[in-house]
């Protein structure tokens, strides 16, 4: 479920639905700082230049009874369990969908991120979140089909930043390289971004983006 936790977390990974941040204050939900998860859908979290929109929807992560995987479909629909999120003995956490609010993106630093999810983990989050709010169950493969272009773009942007950013601690350079990537995908009328929407052309986009990043690196 987790793509990275703890020390594996890379600050250059673009912020994505399902990311877990520490020391987040969610106005109107509770007081103080705590763990929170990004709920905003990847289709809507970025604006011009591929940069994060000013506000993100986030939900509080709370202590919750341990829930074996086979019991997830049968209930506890108001949460998504996060087993071994911090790999601490005896700790059992879950993201609580009702404890959600709006957080300013500028208050989130990627250095405060402690985990992010795999594509599978994000689709499980989407499925449970959607069911909680609408009682509609959408199968995971269908959710994945819809979000696949966003997953691919996030992976490619991460790779682009890893290849080209000289100083990962420079938020200005990271933003500049992010805008470069966005401009590259938008080139020629958004051809590459459109090609990401189809399984028949995704591998072509990966090839072209990787060739381009190597050319820019050299």
Partner 1 sequence: MISPTSAEPEDVDATSTSSVKEVIVPIPQTMTSLVKEVKVLRDQVQATNQDVADLHRRVNAHDLDRRTHFKVRTEMRDLLDLVAVHYGMSWNQIAQLVGVSAQAVRKWRKGELATGENRFAVARLVALLDLLVELRIANPVQWLEVPLVAGYSVTAFDILAARKLDLVLEWADMRIDSPERLLDLFELKWRERYKTEYETFIAGDNNLSLRRR
Calpha distance 116→136 (Å, rounded): 25
Helices of type H across the chain: 119-134, 140-164, 171-195, 202-217
Check residue 92 for interaction with partner 1 (CB under 8 A).
no
Kindly state the DSSP code that residue 54 receives in the 8-state scheme.
Answer: S
CB of 116 vs partner 1, minimal distance in Å:
11
Binding flag, residue 87, partner 1 (CB under 8 A): no
Interface with partner 1 includes 207 (CB under 8 A)? yes
**Which of 51, 67, 138, 165 touches partner 1 by CB under 8 A?**
138
Candidates 125, 143, 154, 157: give the one binding partner 1 (CB under 8 A). Answer: 143
* Residue 33 is a binding residue for partner 1 (CB under 8 A): no
> What CA–CA distances, in Å, run from 161 to 10, 165, 195, 218?
11, 5, 21, 14
Strand order in 2-5's β-sheet? Answer: 2-5, 113-117, 20-24, 34-38, 55-63, 93-104, 79-82
**C-beta closer to partner 1: residue 74 or 136:** 136
CB-count burial class (<10 Å; 0-12, 13-18, 19+) for 144:
middle
Residue indicated by tokens 């994060």: 52
Among 57, 102, 118, 186, the residue binding partner 1 under the rule CB under 8 A is 118
Helix/strand/coil percentages in the chain, nearest 5: 45, 20, 35
Residue among 16 and 36 whose Cβ is closer to partner 1 = 16
Using the rule CB under 8 A, which residue among 155, 165, 175, 179 binds partner 1? Answer: 155
Question: 3-state class of 63 per DSSP?
Answer: strand
Number of residues lying near partner 1 (CB under 8 A):
32
Q: Which one of residues 65, 134, 200, 215 is an interface residue with partner 1 (CB under 8 A)? A: 200
In the complex, minimum distance from the CB of residue 13 to partner 1, in angstroms, rounded to a whole number: 10
Please give the residue ranges that form the binding site for partner 1 (CB under 8 A): 3-4, 8, 43, 118-119, 138-139, 141-143, 145-147, 149, 152, 155, 159, 190, 197, 199-207, 210-211, 214
């Amino acid at each position: 479920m987790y793509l990275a936790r703890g020390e594996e977390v890379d600050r250059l990974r673009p912020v994505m639905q399902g990311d877990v941040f520490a020391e987040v204050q969610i106005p109107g939900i509770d007081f103080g700082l705590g763990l929170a998860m990004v709920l905003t859908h990847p289709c809507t979290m970025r604006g011009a230049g591929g940069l994060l929109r000013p506000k993100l929807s986030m939900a509080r992560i709370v202590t919750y009874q341990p829930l074996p995987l086979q019991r997830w479909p049968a209930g506890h629909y108001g949460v998504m369990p996060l087993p071994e999120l911090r790999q601490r003995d005896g700790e059992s956490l879950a993201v609580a969908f009702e404890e959600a609010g709006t957080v300013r993106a500028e208050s989130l630093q990627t250095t405060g991120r402690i985990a992010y999810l795999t594509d599978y983990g994000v689709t499980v989050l989407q499925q449970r979140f959607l069911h909680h709010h609408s009682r509609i169950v959408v199968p995971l493969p269908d959710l994945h089909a819809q979000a696949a272009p966003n997953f691919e773009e996030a992976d490619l942007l991460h790779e682009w930043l890893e290849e080209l950013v000289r100083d990962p601690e420079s938020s200005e350079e990271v933003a500049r390289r992010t805008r470069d990537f966005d401009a590259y995908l938008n080139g020629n009328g958004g051809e590459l971004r459109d090609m990401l929407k189809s399984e028949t052309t995704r591998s072509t986009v990966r090839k072209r983006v990787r060739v381009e990043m190597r050319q820019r690196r050299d």
